[in-house]
């Protein structure tokens, strides 16, 4: 190897990518809806990718990185957005964040009920988190607005052999 050869720069980690994206989002005073519109994809999926839990296609990754105006880090973020993540990396313990914890609580209290009702309706299987859609909406209510979380996943029956 000659002295003019250079090793490629190490890849940006998903955590570094997320920190840059969050800082740029704050500095630009933009919203996830605007970032997702620039990417041309669903806000839920784009946010998930920006938080390191999903992968964006090259074109969408380039649009997000460009929209955020990351200067000399644009290409690094663009590449990191395309790298496959280690999903649920932090999910080994229950989050102490009150909002995230409530989803664990819902699963603890209603998980077996949801499982029982899905099995009764569809049979023995699971709801896919790969072929999956998620939507979050504000529902006006006189007692205080409500959060509606809609999840839709393909039913995958267990194989029997």
Count of domains in the chain?
A: 2
The one catalytic residue in 31, 59, 102, 116 is 102
Find the largest Cα–Cα distance for the chain.
Answer: 72
Q: For every one of its 161 residues, what pLDDT tens digit does the chain have, with 9 covering 90 and above?
A: 555 567 777 789 999 999 999 999 999 999 999 999 999 999 989 999 999 989 999 999 999 999 999 999 999 999 999 999 887 665 567 888 898 889 888 888 788 788 988 998 999 999 998 899 999 999 999 999 999 999 999 999 998 78
Do residue 18 and residue 74 come from a single domain?
yes
Q: CATH number of the domain at 147, please.
A: 3.30.1160.10
> Is 128 known to be catalytic?
yes
Q: pTM for this structure?
A: 0.75
Q: Which token pair is 13?
A: 């980690």
**Residue 59 designated active-site:** no
Q: Which of 82, 106, 129 is the last residue of a domain?
A: 82
- Please name the residue ranges forming H helices in 69-132: 74-82, 98-122
At 59, list the tokens. 């074109």
* Whether residue 105 lies in the annotated active site: yes
Task: Give the residue among 38, 50, 7, 48 at the shortest CA–CA distance from 130.
Answer: 48
Q: Which one of the listed residues 31, 42, 95, 128 is annotated catalytic?
A: 128
71 shares its domain with 117:
no
104: containing domain: 98-157
């Amino acid at each position: 190897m000659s002295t003019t050869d250079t090793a490629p720069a190490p890849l940006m980690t998903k955590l570094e990518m997320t920190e840059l994206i969050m800082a740029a989002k704050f500095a630009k005073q933009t919203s996830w809806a605007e970032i997702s519109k620039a990417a041309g994809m669903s806000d839920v999926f784009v946010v998930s990718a920006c938080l390191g839990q999903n992968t964006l296609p090259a074109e969408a990754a380039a649009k997000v990185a460009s929209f955020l105006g990351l200067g000399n880090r644009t290409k690094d973020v663009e590449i990191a957005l395309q790298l496959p993540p280690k999903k649920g990396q932090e999910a080994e313990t229950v989050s102490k964040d009150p909002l995230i914890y409530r989803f664990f609580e819902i699963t603890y209290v209603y998980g077996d009920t949801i499982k029982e009702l899905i099995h009764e309706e569809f049979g023995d299987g699971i709801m896919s988190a790969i072929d999956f859609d998620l939507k979050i909406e504000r529902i006006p209510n006189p007692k205080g607005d409500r959060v509606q979380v809609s999840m839709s996943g393909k039913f995958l029956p267990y194989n029997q052999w």
